[in-house]
Structure formats: C-alpha cells, structure tokens
Structure 1
Amino acid sequence: MTTSTPRSLTQHRMVWGFRILLALAFGAAGASKLAGVPQMVQLFDAVGFGQGFRYLTGAVEIMGALLVLVPATGFLGGLLLAATMVGGVATHLLLIGGNPFPAMVLGLLSAFVAWRLRPASPSSVGR
C-alpha cells in the first residue's frame, strides 16, 4: 500500500485549483461570446473572421472548460484550452493589438494542467 506524501497532496490540490480557475475563466469567456456581449461582437469584428468564428470560439472555450473539470478528460481539456490561447495570443500580436498577457497566462496555466494530467507512457507502466 502506498500513502500520499504531503507534497503530492498539495500538488493534487494545486492542479485542481488551476482546473477550477480555468473552468471559471473559460466558461465565463465562452458564455460572453455565445451571448453576444457587445464587447465580444466588436472584438470579433476587429479580428475579421466573422461572427461565426465568435460562436465557434465560445463553444470551444465552454467545451474546454467542461473537459478540464472531468478527471477522465482533464488532459484533453487542458490541451484544447492551451491551443485556444495560442490562437488568442497570435490574434493580439498579429491582428488586433492590445495586451496578450492575459491570454499568455491562461495558456500557460492550461498547458501546465495538461502536462500534469498527461497519460502515463506505456513504457513507465509497471515500473
């Protein structure tokens, strides 16, 4: 029988905290896009890919927020949200200007969660 060390319990709680934070942030951002908040409509007008892209982005953000909360899909949710934020950073840097820092932070947190939840490699099973 193995016991959890305090460090691993702390790490487990930290990752869950980040997962909840990401779900709240992306859930709110996705909902604002799907609800047609005027600021989001203006932002996606500036991006230039049409309002359908706003709906797609909102749906992806909400899907990622849900996936990151489910233990079996947390890794995929983290990857999806990290990839979404790569697009968000690129959009700020290349298309609309503004501060890409919030998207960078959310992207790094999403990547960290995906890394911590990555599946075990087949060669490490049974060691």
Structure 2
Amino acid sequence: MSTTVTMRRAVRPGTVVLWVVQVVLASQFVMAGLMKLSGNPGMVEMFGNVGAGQWLRYLVGALEVAGALGLLIPRLCGPAALGLVALMAGAIVTNVFVLGESPAIPLAYLLVAGVIAWLRRSALASAFGILRR
C-alpha cells in the first residue's frame, strides 16, 4: 500500500496583494483599450489630435487589451507588465509634447506596471530565456 502525500504551497499575503493589483491594473487597461477599439468619440478625437491617424488608436487599444490579458497569465505577467511600461512611456511623451496634457494617469500606470514587472522578474527571465545563477 502506497501513501501519497499532497503538499500544498502556502500562499503568502504579498502574492495575493500582487495578484489583486494585477487584476485591477488589467481591468483599467481593458476598459481603456476597449474604448479605443470601439471608436469612442473622445478617443477618436484625441488620436486625431495626435496626427498619426486612427490606425494608431487601434494599435494602442489592441496592445492595451493584450497587455491586460497578459497580466492575468502567470507566465506572461512579467513580459506583459514590461510591455505596458513601454506603452505608458509613449503615452507620457505624447501627452506632454503632442497633446499638452498632464501625464499623471499614464505615469501612475507606468509606475504600477513597473513594480509588477520588477516583482515578476522571474517570469521575465523565463519568458526571455535568461538563465539565473
């Protein structure tokens, strides 16, 4: 007769908090991305003011939704957060130099995504094939 022992890994409170933050950030990016993809008049006007064409609105919306979904997948959460950092860096530059608006919201999202990317650096290392010593 064999005995099987099931060992459960203890879930630390910090891990739970990090996942909650990821879900909240993902929901914000899904909402923003869907507004862009659905042709919200405010988004159409804003991207018209950017001057690059509406294709950019679709691209940014798709990247926001993809990044949000990636935040919810354990293997992709690190790379997704890093991608959202890059996207928000572009949004900050656009807000300041093209639209003349406050960069506060994209800066806040960049900081949160940056913290997630840092805390999920093992997922980044795994995704990019970096060997850790």
Q: Same fold (TM over 0.5)?
A: yes
Could you tell me which residue of structure 2 aligns to residue 118 of structure 1?
A: 121
Distance 2:32 2:16 in 1: 24
Could you tell me which residue of structure 2 aligns to residue 102 of structure 1?
A: 105
Gapped runs of 5+ residues in structure 2? Answer: 1-6, 126-130
The structure that has the greater radius of gyration is: 2
Is 1:36 paired with 2:46? no
Cα distance, 1:53 vs. partner? 0.3
Could you tell me which residue of structure 1 aligns to residue 15 of structure 2?
A: 12
Could you tell me which residue of structure 2 aligns to residue 68 of structure 1?
A: 71
Distance 1:122 1:37 in 2: 45
Name the amino acid aligned to 1:30: G
Distance 2:83 2:112 in 1: 12
Could you tell me which residue of structure 1 aligns to residue 52 of structure 2?
A: 49
Gapped runs of 5+ residues in structure 1? Answer: none
Percentage of identical aligned residues: 35
Is 1:91 paired with 2:94? yes
Distance 2:20 2:86 in 1: 20
More helix by share: 1
Could you tell me which residue of structure 1 aligns to residue 29 of structure 2?
A: 26
| RMSD of Structure 2 on Structure 1 (CA) | 1.7
Name the amino acid aligned to 1:122: R
Distance 1:112 1:101 in 2: 17
Distance 2:17 2:101 in 1: 30
Could you tell me which residue of structure 2 aligns to residue 80 of structure 1?
A: 83
TM-score, normalised with respect to structure 2: 0.84
Name the amino acid aligned to 2:132: P
Cα distance, 1:10 vs. partner? 2.1
Q: How many residue pairs end up in the alignment?
A: 120
